[in-house]
Amino acid sequence: MTRVRVATRASELALAQARLVAAQLEAALGVAVELVPLSTTGDRIQSISLAQVGGKGLFVKEIEEALLDGRADLAVHSAKDLPAEIHPDLLLVAFPERADPRDALVTRVRGQTLDALAHGARVGTGSVRRTAQLRAARPDLEVVPLRGNLGTRLRRLESEGLDAVVLACAGLDRLGLAERIDERLAPERMLPAVAQGTLAIEGRRGDSLARDAAALDHAATAVRVAAERGCLARLGADCFVPLAALAETAGGVVRLRALLAAPDGGRVLRVHGEAPAGEAAGLGAGLAERLLAEGGRELLAALRSGA
């Protein structure tokens, strides 16, 4: 095969990320890559939260359909958009090296930090995870629901009189907008989403091209993602769950921090642990069990009942 079709979301950021992967595929496999941009349900529905319409799997459904029906040979996703379970005929074949996983505070008055925002400042985000942690850190803030692609959210900072928005550092970095970041929020203040900053390459199970694309896998990143997604899978979490997790690796050991919160930030459960890198997924599942035992079961039940 000399030409590989790679499915991706059609947003500016998704295309920039897909081009990064395309360049790596061309270098590693000696193939030409054609991008197949697709509009997903999650992209088209902007007026309400993802939790109300089916969760983050809405960003991958159409892309996976293109893989399954042969319109694409591989797919590129933001790994944080992937649900805990993917289609059984597909598999995640590679995770290229992770970018900065932290969240970014972008302020209207340049140079401000989260602590420096005025009492009652209006902060935009579309994430229940960020909302819960913002409310826990600064109960005085007014958290404003915010959907749309990265450019739209930056524009709404000005057009809707917001004082700040919270975005992913990786997205801003990949679009050449690093200078727009006023504070890279420390994980101790704002623990990132599962696999934030990571790209995932998906292929068809048993396909030789999927096996070849595994050459793009970054071993340490794959271990970190396995730990974080192990926690996600055990909790069966989706967009409606304020779940955060961040793994780090050193010397054959993976260390994981995880957090589960009430949407209002009134209760935040935190756990951490470590294990050999080969047991990363088990570490994630084990920390999820600890979250459940320490009150997470009740938090999840309340979230799912809409209480």
pLDDT at 44 over 80: no
Residues 137 and 110 in one domain: yes
**Residue 92 backbone dihedrals phi, psi, to 5 degrees:** -90, 115
Look at the chain and report how many structural domains it folds into.
Answer: 3
> How does 58-73 read in b/e, with b if 16+ C-beta sit within 10 Å?
bbbebbbebbeeeebb
Mean pLDDT score, 165-173: 97
Percentage of residues in the chain having pLDDT higher than 70: 93
Q: What is the pLDDT of residues 136-162, one digit of tens each?
A: 999 999 999 998 889 899 999 988 899
Residues 91 and 146 in one domain: no
Q: How far is CA 125 from the centre of its chain?
A: 14
CA 122 to CA 134: how far, in whole Å?
A: 11
pLDDT score, position 147: 84
Of the given ranges (43-47, 187-191, 205-209), which has the lowest mean pLDDT?
43-47
Mean pLDDT score, 240-248: 95
Residues 202 and 265 in one domain: no
Find the CATH number of the domain harbouring 301.
Answer: 3.30.160.40
Among 53, 47, 57, smallest CA distance to 77 is for 57
Angle between helices 219-235 and 280-291 (to 10 degrees): 30
The answer to whether residue 239 is domain-embedded is yes
The answer to whether residue 192 is domain-embedded is no
Active site residues: 81
The answer to whether residue 63 is domain-embedded is yes
Residues 256 and 278 in one domain: yes
Does residue 248 contact residue 269 with C-beta atoms inside 8 Å?
Answer: no
Average pLDDT, the chain: 92
Q: Which domain holds residue 208?
A: 1-97+198-217
Q: What is the pLDDT of residues 107-117, one digit of tens each?
A: 999 999 999 99
Residues 18 and 139 in one domain: no
The answer to whether residue 34 is domain-embedded is yes
Give this prediction's pTM: 0.93
Residues 224 and 300 in one domain: yes
The answer to whether residue 193 is domain-embedded is no
The answer to whether residue 191 is domain-embedded is no
pLDDT score, position 1: 55
Residues 67 and 149 in one domain: no
Among 181, 214, 203, 225, smallest CA distance to 80 is for 225
Q: Confidence band (pLDDT; 50, 70, 90) for 53?
A: very low
* Token pair for 296: 């997470």
* Token pair for 206: 């048993």
Q: What is the pLDDT of residues 262-289, one digit of tens each?
A: 999 999 999 999 999 999 999 999 999 9
Residues 300 and 287 in one domain: yes
Residues 155 and 301 in one domain: no
pLDDT score, position 39: 80
For the sheet containing 32-38, what is the strand order? Answer: 32-38, 3-9, 74-78, 199-204, 90-94
pLDDT at 9 over 90: yes
Residues 126 and 271 in one domain: no
Mean pLDDT score, 119-128: 96
pLDDT score, position 206: 95
Find the CATH number of the domain harbouring 30.
Answer: 3.40.190.10
**Residue 270 backbone dihedrals phi, psi, to 5 degrees:** -130, 135
pLDDT score, position 304: 83
Does residue 201 contact residue 75 with C-beta atoms inside 8 Å?
Answer: yes
pLDDT score, position 23: 97
Residues 69 and 148 in one domain: no
pLDDT score, position 142: 97
pLDDT score, position 57: 61
Residues 84 and 202 in one domain: yes
